[in-house]
Amino acid sequence: MSDKKRNWILLIVRLIIGGIFIFAGWAKVADMTSTVGFFATLGIPAFLAYVVGYLGLIGGILLVLGIWTQKSAAILAIIMIVAVWITMPGGFQAFNTPLSVLAGLLSIMASGSGSYVVGLKRNKSVVIA
């Protein structure tokens, strides 16, 4: 595969996965009372609702921008591993979405951000600003 195709695919994966986390993170942060209540029903401490909400939102933004991509993907992957674990009793129908997102995050961790990033100038990077 050519570098140009690889970079475009990495950008598309980052935009999709990052968009999912921005949307989900914003939903958690915007209605933190409900998020804390939902986490409580799962036996998860309230402070982790804040951690997961804000890490999802910020991590998603970083993925979209291509900043600290592999580190952000690793942190978000930990969240998704826990999400898969929590949803496993519901069967494949319940845990297939977090598992799919986890697979996307692992591909980002393995491949990096690619050349299309915002606000950073690296070797051979196209800066979109």
Specify the DSSP class assigned to residue 116.
E
Which of 108, 112, 98 has its CA nearest to residue 13?
108
The pLDDT score that the predictor gives to residue 115 is: 87
The pLDDT score that the predictor gives to residue 120 is: 52
pLDDT of 128 higher than 90: no
Q: What average pLDDT score do residues 52-72 get?
A: 96
Which of 91, 117, 87, 124 has its CA nearest to residue 102?
87
